[in-house]
C-alpha cells in the first residue's frame, strides 16, 4: 500500500518544486523531516536539502539513508521553536512540513517560524491528519463516544497530552496559513480510501493497486473528499506583502 499512501502527496510536492524552481536547484527545508524519506528524494533531484528535527535517532537514520542513496542532506538537531537559531531568515525556497503540526505545542508558532525562513514567493507543503476521517474511523469501530468527542474538538484548543496527536479540518489549516501570510495554492485530499481498503485486497487482486492509486489521484483536489480524507495537504505560497513582518520587510497597510 506504501506508494498509494504517499505518491499523491509526493506529486503535489513536485508541483510545488516546479512552481518555485524554474529548473534551478532549490534550498529546501524539511522541518520535522524525521528519517528523511522526503528529504532524500528531494536531494536526489538535485536540491540542497536541510532537515531540522528534534530526534537524534531520526537524524542518524537520515544520515544513513542519504549516504546509502549516494546523496547528502544536512541534518540539524532543532525544532519549530528554535528553528530561527539554526537557519538564516529568508534562506529557503521550499519548506516541507509533513506530519509535524499534529505534534507541536503551537502550530501557529511553527508557521510563523516557517514564514521567517522562507524567501518571498517561496512555498510550504503541509501534511496533517484529517479530523473527520478520525471521527468516521472511531464510529466504524463502535467507539461512538470517542467519535462524538473528536467531532466536537478544535485544533486551537487541542491538548496533546490528553487528546493525542492533533487532527485538523481544512478551514483550520487555511486560517493558520492566512494568518502567517500564506496563500493556499492547492489543497489535496490524501488517503481518502487507502486507509479504509484492506491491504490484502489490494495485494491479491490483479490491478487493484494501480486502480486505487488512479482513484486517489482522481479525487485528490475535491474539497468534498478533503473533508473526509485521512490526510490533508496544503501547498501555499508566502507573500511578504501580507505576512506579519518581524524581519524588517515592509507590509501592505490596510
The residues of the shown chain that bind ligand SAM, judged by CB under 6 A, are: 31-34, 37-38, 53-55, 58, 79-80, 98-100, 103-104
DSSP 156: G
Distance between CA atoms of residues 134 and 146, nearest Å:
9
Nearer Cβ to ligand SAM (58/147): 58
Q: How far is the CB of 104 from ligand SAM (least distance, A)?
A: 4
Distance between CA atoms of residues 97 and 120, nearest Å:
18
Determine which helix (DSSP H) or strand (DSSP E) holds 58, and give its type and residue range. Answer: helix 56-69
Nearer Cβ to ligand SAM (71/147): 71
Q: How far is the CB of 10 from ligand SAM (least distance, A)?
A: 11
Determine which helix (DSSP H) or strand (DSSP E) holds 6, and give its type and residue range. Answer: helix 2-21
Distance between CA atoms of residues 6 and 112, nearest Å:
26
Q: How far is the CB of 9 from ligand SAM (least distance, A)?
A: 9
DSSP of 10-25? HHHHHHHHHHHHTTS-
Partners of residue 98 on adjacent β-strands: 127
Nearer Cβ to ligand SAM (72/160): 160
C-alpha grid cell for residue 64? 544513513
Nearer Cβ to ligand SAM (147/187): 187
Q: How far is the CB of 205 from ligand SAM (least distance, A)?
A: 28
Nearer Cβ to ligand SAM (90/99): 99
Q: How far is the CB of 79 from ligand SAM (least distance, A)?
A: 3
Amino acid at each position: 500500500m506504501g506508494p498509494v499512501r504517499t505518491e499523491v502527496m509526493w506529486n503535489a510536492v513536485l508541483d510545488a518544486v516546479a512552481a518555485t524552481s524554474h529548473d534551478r536547484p532549490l534550498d529546501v527545508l524539511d522541518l520535522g523531516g524525521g528519517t528523511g524519506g522526503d528529504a532524500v528524494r528531494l536531494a536526489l533531484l538535485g536540491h540542497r536539502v536541510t532537515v531540522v528535527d528534534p530526534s537524534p535517532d531520526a537524524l542518524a537514520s537520515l544520515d544513513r539513508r542519504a549516504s546509502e542513496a549516494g546523496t547528502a542532506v544536512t541534518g540539524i538537531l532543532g525544532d519549530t521553536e528554535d528553528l530561527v537559531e539554526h537557519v538564516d531568515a529568508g534562506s529557503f525556497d521550499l519548506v516541507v512540513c509533513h506530519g509535524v503540526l499534529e505534534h507541536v505545542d503551537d502550530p501557529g508558532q511553527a508557521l510563523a517560524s516557517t514564514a521567517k525562513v522562507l524567501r518571498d514567493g517561496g512555498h510550504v507543503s503541509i501534511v496533517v491528519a484529517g479530523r473527520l476521517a478520525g471521527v468516521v474511523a472511531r464510529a466504524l469501530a463502535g467507539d461512538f463516544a470517542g467519535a462524538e468527542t473528536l467531532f466536537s474538538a478544535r485544533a486551537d484548543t487541542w491538548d496533546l497530552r490528553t487528546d493525542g496527536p492533533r487532527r485538523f479540518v481544512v478551514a483550520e489549516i487555511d486560517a493558520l496559513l492566512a494568518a502567517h501570510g500564506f496563500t493556499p495554492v492547492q489543497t489535496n485530499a490524501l488517503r481518502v480510501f487507502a486507509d479504509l481498503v484492506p491491504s490484502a485486497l489490494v495485494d491479491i487482486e490483479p490491478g487493484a493497486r494501480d486502480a486505487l492509486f488512479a482513484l486517489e489521484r482522481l479525487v485528490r483536489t475535491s474539497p468534498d473528499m478533503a473533508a473526509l480524507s485521512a490526510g490533508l495537504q496544503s501547498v501555499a505560497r508566502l507573500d511578504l506583502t501580507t505576512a506579519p513582518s518581524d524581519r524588517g520587510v515592509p507590509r501592505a497597510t490596510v
